[in-house]
Amino acid sequence: MATKEKAVLHDEEKALLFKESKEPPPSPPRCKGDHLSPRLIFWMLANILATIGIVFTNKLLFSTESLRQGQVSFAAFHFAVTGITLYIISRPIFNVFQAQRAPPIKILPLAAAMCLNVIMPNLSLAHSSVSFYQIARILLTPCVASLNFLISGATIPFNAGLALVPACIGVGVVSYYDSLPVKGTDVQPTSVLGITFALLGVFSSSLYTVFISRYHKTLQMGSMPLLLNQAPLSVLLLAYVIPFTDDVTVWTSVPLPHWLLIGLSGLLACVINLSQFFIVNESGPVSSTVVGHLKSCCIVALGWAMSGRPLADGSVAGIVLALGGIILITANMPGLAPSQPLSPQQSSTPSFSSDHTWLIWGGNGWIANMLYNLMVSRGLNVHTTTARMEDRTAVFEVLDRVKPTHVVNCAGITGRPNVDYCEYNKEETIRANVIGAINLADCCFLREVYLMVFATGCIYIYDEEHVEGGKPYTEEDLPNFGGSFYSYTKSRVEEIMKFYTNTLILRFRMPVSDSPTDPRSFLTKMLSYRTVYSVSNSATLLTSMLPHALLLAEHITTGVYNFTNPGAISHDEMLTMWKRTVDPSHEWENCGDGELKGKGLIVAARSACELDSRKLVERCLESII
């Protein structure tokens, strides 16, 4: 089965997940965003051209006095177009992203902020020049930084803070000169009303940005699903406002050319939404940020050229200061500075805070040791413990002594050599996988400590709706496999633990390390078997995935995530790659479903499923960007 993997992977991952590969990749992997494919270039150009186009199209529309009286209606139209576009591309036929539902009452404040985020900038564009409109948007960065500091105490690097000074001064200079009339020309200066709307627009957009960040965490939704919930609600909100703010009669006298421009504006909005999604998914923070700067420069330059202002105008100095300042800010923000190509031993994730104290439960375990070594290599303050999770007194003693900010639960019973151990040791399995896991979650909750749980995806099996090679299981699908006692306990405990608001549950599947001799690695286990039931499964390649677990925890992500690399691979494909690239002498035989148990090679049934990792990919990209 061909995989669905699209991201740039380590060599080890490619050897495991790409059955189409004939040879191991010859060059070292590069960090996300370092490679510009033709597809990515296309979407970048589409995004740049659509953004430039919509600014000038809207400016042309708002230059008509009558249409200025329909700002709220125009915003409602754009929200409707956005909602319809997102709904269509979320359908199975396109499957660009997975739709999720959120209670409207919870989304209401965000939808209101979204309305202001669109209406205020549009009013600014209607009463100011294009260049000033775009330059004023640079104030978003210092405004968001200020709000984050006031609300949550979050800070930005010192050098980035210094770069805010020229950016703000530049906007001030542009505001002054752009409001002055130009003698001997018919250039329309930016009015005081335009400057006022611009500042209100910056504040509204900043507030919306802060809201978005918080809603991502509380609702555990990506950008696209969240926007799909917001857009229809925003249309309803504006429908109540329109009778009080707009002159609805203006739409009866709009000429055909203007209707065409309105349609073009909606079409460009669709292109922006689609292209932004593909840019974020196929590039890294550097590429995405460069696209943003390029759009600003193009809009400012074209706006200036069309304004008729002389080059000697003092606004030029302000524009240079503002654009230069925002580029310097970007260069000094974590995760946005350009990076060099990475070697296979390096990670492409950003650095982590040294203010946190990490505690790994199950410190002698296989994955726990890998995680510990990774954290030590990053200079993190990390501790381990082997205290029994079911012992409430012992758990509280460790928490009170270490005082961690982050706890990682790597403990539990999987069994040696495999999960059949749990069939004969049910009481021990219950104590560790059920009582202990819940007790640790509860103790962390009472001590207000963040908890990340390394769980399992072995709670599903292919069925009529989820066939092999078809629709993968999402985080919202109910577990349907209890054929092994291990899976039975894991599915039951997840159903309870997911209600703890301090907890992140990561579903691992077929974990593979970068060592072919590691006895706990799924690949090593497969190599030890001479009879294999070949079925496609998702896999977790630990070398590349563990840094992303830290990234999620660093951003206090909660909820349930399928923690696997995208796509799936069958056992036969995995062994065939091993035979072709490593050991030509390796032999095995495939058997059918149920034959392993019939031959007495296993005791309990085995899970088989593909997990949908789109929610994970989108969340990790948001955390980096």
Q: What is the pLDDT of residues 417-447, one digit of tens each?
A: 777 888 888 998 899 899 999 999 999 999 8
Mean pLDDT within 487-515: 91
Does residue 339 lie within any of the structural domains?
no
Residue 418, pLDDT score: 76
Domain closes at, from 264, 279, 294:
294
Spatial CA neighbour of 35 closest among 346, 273, 342, 345: 342
Domain closes at, from 255, 277, 294:
294
* 553 and 474 share one domain: yes
* 371 and 275 share one domain: no
Partners of 560 in the beta sheet? Answer: 505
Residue 509, pLDDT score: 92
* 278 and 426 share one domain: no
* 474 and 368 share one domain: yes
Residue 478, pLDDT score: 93
Does residue 323 lie within any of the structural domains?
no
With a cut of 50, say whether residue 19 has pLDDT above it: no
* 381 and 288 share one domain: no
Residue 450: band (very low, low, confident or very high) from pLDDT cuts 50, 70, 90: very high
* 281 and 368 share one domain: no
* 288 and 212 share one domain: yes
pLDDT in tens, 506-522: 999 999 887 777 777 88
* 424 and 543 share one domain: yes
Domain closes at, from 271, 294, 317:
294
Mean pLDDT within 163-176: 77
Q: Which of 51-65, 67-81, 155-169, 491-505 has the lowest mean pLDDT?
A: 155-169
* 59 and 200 share one domain: yes
pLDDT in tens, 350-388: 344 447 899 999 877 888 888 988 888 788 888 988 889
Q: Which alpha helices (DSSP H) does 127-187 contain, by range?
A: 130-136, 140-152, 158-178
Please check whether residue 402 is in contact with residue 359, taking contact to mean a CB–CB distance below 8 angstroms. Answer: yes
Q: Which of 115-129, 154-168, 388-402 has the lowest mean pLDDT?
A: 154-168
Does residue 171 lie within any of the structural domains?
no
Separation in Å, CA 596 to CA 470, 532, 591, 599: 25, 8, 7, 5
Residue 20, pLDDT score: 36
As for how many domains the chain has, the answer is 2
Q: Which helix (H) or strand (E) holds 191?
A: none
Does residue 95 lie within any of the structural domains?
yes
**524/346: higher pLDDT:** 524
Q: Which of 133-147, 214-228, 498-512 has the lowest mean pLDDT?
A: 214-228
Separation in Å, CA 624 to CA 8, 81, 110, 282, 472: 16, 29, 23, 13, 26
3-state secondary structure of 537: strand
Residue 24: band (very low, low, confident or very high) from pLDDT cuts 50, 70, 90: very low
Does residue 7 lie within any of the structural domains?
no
Does residue 260 lie within any of the structural domains?
yes
Domain region containing 111: 33-152+192-294
* 258 and 392 share one domain: no
Does residue 364 lie within any of the structural domains?
yes
**5/168: higher pLDDT:** 168
- Where on the phi/psi map is residue 24: left (φ > 0), alpha (ψ -120 to 50), or beta? beta
Average pLDDT, the chain: 78
Residue 128: band (very low, low, confident or very high) from pLDDT cuts 50, 70, 90: confident
Domain with residue 434: its CATH number is: 3.40.50.720
**237/89: higher pLDDT:** 237
Does residue 443 lie within any of the structural domains?
yes
Q: How far apart are CA 483 and CA 460, in angstroms?
A: 10
Residue 492, pLDDT score: 92
Residue 161, pLDDT score: 74
**591/503: higher pLDDT:** 503
Mean pLDDT within 461-471: 90
* 288 and 362 share one domain: no
Report residue 325 as tokens: 């300042």
* 463 and 367 share one domain: yes
Mean pLDDT within 6-30: 36
